[in-house]
């Protein structure tokens, strides 16, 4: 039976999206729901919401404070400069920086210049960077100094500009602004033009480039913004409308879809200030929550756990914090009750989405999350449709488990230059096959019970077991390797490797770790490395029996 909160949410949603409501809902050519009265391209999106919120504080980074009007002005100058530098519509523009104002302005300028903003994982090592660069062939890469050094070591030849991001944004991009001239006209952009490439680790190894149109990215943003509009309506009806402006801690990487869409882009729509953290530190987060009166916190579950358990937590006034949301990885059920106890003034929430859906999917919040903490919530209506798929992609009835499918105009177009993976991703009627197994209950709440793909989610980072195994096999001493996820209270999952050495070979854990550290990002390194004195068990097909090894070693 629907909860009282669900009934009230649905009533306000009907008013917001009904005749005369704030959001006009139509359909795209594939029959998917879209917002028809909000901008459908990112250039018009930024121009509209920066104008509406021009005087509001948009970004705080150390001593630097920028309004939405500042972001509009600086990104417009940079966009003209990029065109003057030779960027044409469809060129990929790589962004390889830690969170900073230059990242945000660089993204805005890239899409306004007609480029495809290519969001490069800032934690990658040189060989991982080399793969992404060779795949997407960016004409220009904007990087901070550490990332620029790694990209140079990767040996990829491109226009690489290293920015001094520790300086105020206009000083950081001064070298680029030298090409600025409004006579360099910006191109016309259509909703179906390509806008972004994000990278996702699939079960087959090397990261794939997930390509999205402007319509997809803006639709995904509106899926989140509409939910906040409805919740604001619910609070207003209760006489509990917020009295202070929304402010969020930008603690998740902007190169992740969570940082890009529900945090950064959504903040433009709802006039929410982003307080930038260069890197995650729970103690610094507590300080910033008090100093900057943060109202909204989102991060992978391990982040909120570290806020709860930090020894200095009681030294700070955290009363401004009203929402603590998790995304990117499952949150242990035990954390939900603990969050309510530790932060009684803040409401818990959880989101579920993929890079391939531009983070759209389901959301569970407030009392509903407390009542069903094992669920990722209901689909983000009216812009998202979730189905459970059985054999032949047949929709399954309520309560029956199958592969979770998500259909929305926010879905990516394809994997960049990978038609085989693209074909495998979509059903004939346009659902993204998520690789997760779950079921819907009678109230439409989604419960995830298993994972179809060999993906390990460590603190929000997707890790391909096949990719880690491939790097391990590059060591000549290894005869057989099996990598799988092992439950971890803090990070959700961590990689575990079980290995069998070549006959006569000798190698210890430390030696193998040293070998791997130069070949992959640190988050992909196995937390546990175990050596078997017998060949690894195999299935009748000849493949290593991953399931039995996981069962044997997971405890």
Q: What pTM does this model have?
A: 0.87
Ramachandran quadrant class, 315 (left: phi over 0; alpha: psi -120 to 50; beta: rest): alpha
pLDDT of residue 269: 98
pLDDT in tens, the chain (555 residues): 889 999 999 999 999 999 999 999 999 999 999 999 999 999 999 999 999 999 999 999 999 999 999 999 999 999 999 999 999 999 999 999 999 999 999 999 999 999 999 999 998 988 899 999 999 999 999 999 999 999 999 888 889 999 999 999 999 999 999 866 667 899 999 999 999 999 987 545 678 999 999 999 999 999 999 999 999 999 999 999 898 999 999 999 999 999 999 999 999 999 999 999 998 899 999 999 999 999 999 988 778 888 988 999 999 999 999 999 987 766 777 778 888 888 888 889 999 999 999 999 999 999 899 889 989 999 999 999 999 999 999 999 999 999 999 999 999 999 999 999 999 999 999 999 999 989 999 999 999 887 767 778 888 788 888 788 888 888 888 888 899 888 887 888 899 999 988 888 889 899 999 999 988 899 999 999 999 988 888 765 556 788 888 888 876
pLDDT of residue 5: 94
pLDDT of residue 11: 96
Q: Does residue 401 fall inside a structural domain? A: no
Q: Does residue 22 fall inside a structural domain? A: no
Q: Does residue 471 fall inside a structural domain? A: yes
Q: Does residue 360 fall inside a structural domain? A: no
Q: Which domain holds residue 175?
A: 71-213
Output the domain CATH number for residue 157. Answer: 3.40.50.980
Query: Looking at 179, 213, 247, which one is the last position of a domain?
Result: 213
Say how many domains are in the chain: 2
Phi, psi of 68 (to 5 degrees): -65, -35
Q: How many CB atoms lie within 10 A of CB 94?
A: 31
Q: Does residue 144 fall inside a structural domain? A: yes
C-beta pairs of 168-176 under 8 Å, 24+ apart in sequence: 168/64, 168/101, 169/64, 169/66, 169/74, 169/100, 169/101, 169/102, 169/105, 170/74, 172/100, 172/101, 172/102, 173/74, 173/78, 173/102, 173/105, 173/106, 176/78, 176/81, 176/82, 176/85, 176/142
Query: Looking at 213, 238, 257, which one is the last position of a domain?
Result: 213
Q: Give me the residue label for tokens 């209901």.
A: 378
pLDDT of residue 179: 60
Q: Does residue 2 fall inside a structural domain? A: no
**Residues belonging to the chain:** 555
Q: Does residue 38 fall inside a structural domain? A: no
Query: Looking at 188, 213, 238, which one is the last position of a domain?
Result: 213
pLDDT of residue 503: 83
Q: Does residue 34 fall inside a structural domain? A: no
**SS3 category, 98:** coil
Three-class DSSP labels, 398-423 = CCCCEEEEEECCCCCCEECCCHHHHH
pLDDT of residue 490: 80
Alpha helices of 137-238 — where are they, by DSSP H?
Answer: 145-154, 169-172, 174-177, 214-237
Output the domain CATH number for residue 526. Answer: 3.30.300.30
């Amino acid at each position: 039976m629907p909860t009282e909160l669900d009934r009230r949410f649905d009533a306000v949603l009907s008013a917001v999206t009904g005749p005369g409501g704030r959001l006009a809902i139509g359909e795209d050519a594939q029959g998917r729901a879209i917002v028809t009265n909000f901008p459908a391209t990112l250039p018009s999106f930024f121009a509209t919401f920066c104008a509406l919120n021009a005087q509001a504080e948009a970004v705080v980074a150390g001593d630097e404070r920028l309004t939405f009007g500042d972001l509009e002005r600086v990104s417009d100058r940079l966009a003209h400069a990029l065109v003057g530098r030779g960027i044409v519509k469809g060129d990929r523009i790589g962004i390889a920086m830690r969170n900073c104002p230059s990242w945000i302005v660089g993204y805005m300028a890239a899409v306004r210049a007609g480029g495809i903003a290519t969001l490069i994982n800032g934690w990658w090592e040189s060989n991982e960077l080399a793969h992404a660069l060779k795949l997407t062939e960016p004409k220009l890469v904007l990087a901070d100094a550490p990332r620029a050094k790694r990209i140079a070591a990767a040996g990829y030849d491109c226009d690489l500009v290293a920015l001094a991001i520790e300086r105020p944004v206009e000083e950081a991009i001064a070298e680029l602004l030298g090409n600025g001239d409004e006579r360099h006209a910006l191109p016309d952009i259509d909703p179906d033009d390509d806008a972004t490439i994000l990278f996702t680790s699939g079960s087959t190894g090397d990261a794939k480039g997930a390509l999205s149109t402007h319509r997809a990215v803006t639709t995904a943003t509106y899926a989140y913004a509409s939910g906040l509009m409805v919740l604001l309506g619910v609070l207003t009806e209760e006489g509990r409308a917020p009295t202070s402006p929304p402010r969020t801690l930008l603690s998740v990487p902007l190169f992740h879809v969570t940082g890009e869409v529900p945090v950064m882009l959504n903040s433009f729509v709802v006039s929410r200030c982003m307080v930038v953290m260069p890197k995650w530190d729970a103690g610094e987060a507590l300080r910033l929550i008090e100093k900057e009166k943060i109202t909204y916190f989102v991060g992978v579950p391990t982040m909120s756990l570290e806020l709860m358990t930090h020894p200095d937590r009681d030294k700070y006034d955290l009363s401004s914090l009203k929402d603590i949301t998790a995304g990117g990885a499952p949150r242990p059920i035990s954390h939900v009750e603990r969050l309510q106890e530790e932060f009684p003034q803040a409401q818990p929430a959880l989101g579920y989405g993929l890079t391939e859906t531009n983070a759209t999917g389901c959301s569970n919040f407030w009392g509903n999350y407390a009542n069903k903490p094992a669920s990722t919530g209901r689909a983000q209506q009216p812009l998202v449709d979730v189905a459970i798929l059985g054999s032949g992609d047949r929709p399954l009835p309520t309560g029956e488990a199958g592969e979770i499918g998500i259909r929305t105009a926010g879905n990516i177009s394809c994997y960049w230059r990978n038609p085989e993976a693209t074909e495998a991703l979509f059903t004939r009627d346009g659902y993204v096959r998520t690789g997760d197994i779950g079921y819907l209950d009678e109230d439409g709440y989604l419960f995830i019970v298993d994972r179809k793909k060999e993906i390990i989610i460590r603190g929000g980072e997707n890790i391909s077991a096949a990719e880690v195994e491939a790097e391990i096999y590059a060591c000549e001493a290894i005869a057989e390797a099996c990598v799988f996820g092992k439950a971890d209270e803090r990070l959700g999952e961590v990689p575990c490797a079980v290995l069998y050495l070549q006959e006569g070979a000798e190698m210890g854990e430390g030696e193998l770790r040293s070998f791997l550290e130069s070949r992959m990002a640190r988050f992909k390194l196995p937390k546990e490395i175990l050596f078997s004195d017998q060949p690894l068990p195999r299935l009748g097909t000849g493949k290593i029996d991953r399931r039995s090894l996981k069962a044997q070693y997971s405890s």
